[in-house]
Structure 1
Amino acid sequence: MATLSPYDLGRSPAGVHRGLPSTTLSITIPEEDSLEIAWPGRPGSPDRFRAVVAGLHLDAAELRQQGGTRGVWLTLNPSGAAALLGIPASALAGHVADLADVVPAMADLPERLAACRSWPQRRAVVERALLAGLARHEEQAGGHELRATLAALSATDRVQEAARLLGCSRRRLSGLVRTALGVTPKEYQRLLRFQAARGRLVAAASAKRAGLAAVAAASGFADQAHLTREWRAMAGCTPTEWLREEGLAA
């Protein structure tokens, strides 16, 4: 449902981090000051937030943090977002919002985290806030259906086959996914494929193994060129450039 971890943007130049697309929503809370979010190519950015909630998105954001590079990062699957935040993932699809606007009860969370002196203390503060969120919001009706739908979309790269696995029409499947996530089934599968490639790239780099072609094949891309095109479209850079930015390139 949720994954909580500390982060440090220090490895990136000038505290800039590339926020890549994924199948999860995220909450980013800097330890100090605020976070600036820019969407390259989108008008009206950057925007500044004390703490930010990001929905599913198909392009990369740029994060710049003032006054320090550390903080707390929380990822939520779509069902977790409904249960913890009280809103469907579709309400945030394609954009970001201040945590205080999305969940007013968590408005003072950044200040409470800033008063902590260690990671265990910060974890405890966030976990208490999440438990309070669960107490405020019951699981949305249809939550089990959504989990089954996403599992079916993960099991095949064909939307029609996912509908067959679920025993419903393609129109029914598309309507459920759009209403819950704010993206189409094909777009969700695109995020799944990108996310899988990202994990395999990190694993290959950590093991000192080369081979973008192998990553492409294992992740469901037609070939290495297809992988590179998707990364340029969704991350704004090539896989090799991203690994270099993250300090993972050999």
Structure 2
Amino acid sequence: MVVVHPALAASVRSIVVYDVDFAGPGVHIGMPSTDLTFVLPLDQPLEVSWVGTGGPRAVGWSSVSGLHTRAAAIHHGHHQRGIQLSLTAAGARALWGVPASALAGQLLGLDDVDVRLAELPERLAAAGTWEGRLAVLEHALLDAVRRRTRPQPRPEVGRAMALLTRGVPVAAVADDVGYSRRRLNTLVHDEVGVPPKTYQRLARFSGAHARMRAAALGGEVSVARIAADSGYADQAHLAREWSDFAGCSPTEWLRREFPIVQASGDRDTTGWDERSHRATR
């Protein structure tokens, strides 16, 4: 994980450098969350499409996507390198000058969001080290933030989204910030592109996904325990949500993302070895 510059902390949730070896060509599943995704591949362009749509792949040296309720299919060969950023909803305004709702459900390139950053992939490729690439990226992001003068959303909208992320019921959130549920629905949708209930579901799912990955790295996964810890009624509830957002069951997702799997059908516990990879964090 890369340390984010303080001036970018409100906009950039995380910056991850990835350098991954795969057994062969395949598809990585990009999971939905409450963050926006910004990817800058090296060596070969990124090929992305939406899971289950059968639609065309977006191919390019950059990928920007807003909130989405369908997983992304990231097509890869034997090796992938690049930089992936998770952006906050506020980061869309700060970096691109638009609310996150303008990017919701879309797969875009830098040309679509900021033509002044169109040459960033070439500048990253020209840098000889990861340290140099990260310095180029940080400078470009800081410059983009300084160029923007778009107003930020009202504080109560940000508070509402924070409460929704923590699992507070929508009606209680509306009362807390002093809006009717209808008004809250409009404001949240205008800001991020999904209604409050969907935003809340995305937040809960994102937490479950993070717990699933952490448990995987520990060597054993209890889907039932993750469901309980993430606020789902039971394992079946998590499985339905996982299928809705990821396009497959939790067990199938584990098999796809971790090819060396000692699977146990749909039982609660699945153990496996971590796939061979190289990664800089």
Class of the TM-score when normalised by the shorter of the 2 chains: over 0.9
How far is the alpha carbon of 1:13 from its aligned partner?
Answer: 4.5
Match of 2:19 among 8, 31, 34: 8
Once the two structures are TM-superposed, the CA of residue 242 in structure 1 deviates from its matched residue by 2.1
After superposition, the CA RMSD in angstroms is 2.0
Q: Determine the structure 1 residue equivalent to 2:169.
A: 158
Q: Which of residues 38, 60, 75 is equivalent to 1:27?
A: 38
Cα displacement string for residues 20-63 of structure 1 (whole angstroms, at most 9, x for unaligned residues) = 10110011111123111122332542221221101100111111
Letter of the 1:179 partner, please give it: D
Q: Which residue of 2 aligns with 1:236?
A: 247
Of 80, 104, 123, which aligns to 1:69? 80
Q: Determine the structure 1 residue equivalent to 2:206.
A: 195
Contact preservation (8 Å) 1:11, 1:246: no
Deviations for 1:136-155, whole angstroms, at most 9, x for unmatched residues?
A: 11352425333212112123
The aligned residue for residue 47 of structure 1 is 58
Whether the aligned pair in 1 keeps the contact of 2:170 and 2:181 (CA below 8 Å) is yes
Deviation at 1:75, TM superposition (A): 1.0
Pairing partner for 1:58 from 60, 69, 72: 69
Superposed, 1:113-152 pairs within 5 Å as 113-138=124-149, 140-152=151-163
Query: TM-score scaled to structure 1, two decimals?
Result: 0.92
1-side partners of 2:184 and 2:23: how far apart? 40
Letter of the aligned partner of 1:203 in structure 2?
A
In structure 2, runs of 5+ residues without a counterpart are 1-10, 262-270, 273-281
1:100 maps to which of 91, 99, 111? 111
1:85 matched to which residue of 2?
Answer: 96
Counterpart amino acid of residue 29 in structure 2: R
1:232 counterpart SS class: helix
> 1:184-214 CA distances to partner (integer Å, 9 max, x unpaired)?
1011011001101011112222233431111
Pairs aligned (count)? 250
Counterpart Cα distance in 1 of 2:221 and 2:76? 32
Letter in 2 for 1:172: R
Q: In 2 relative to 1, CA 28–15 (structure 1 residues): closer, same or farther, beyond 3 Å?
A: farther
Query: Quick one: structure 1 residues 61 and 9, their matched pair in 2 at CA, closer, same or farther if it must change by over 3 Å?
Result: farther
Question: How far apart are the structure 2 equivalents of 1:23 and 1:217?
Answer: 20
Structure 1 residue 112 corresponds to structure 2 residue 104: no
Give the secondary structure class of the aligned counterpart of 2:21: coil
More helix by share: 1
Q: SS where residue 67 of structure 2 aligns?
A: coil
4+ aligned runs moved over 6 Å, structure 1:
none
CA distance in 2, matches of 1:204, 1:67: 26
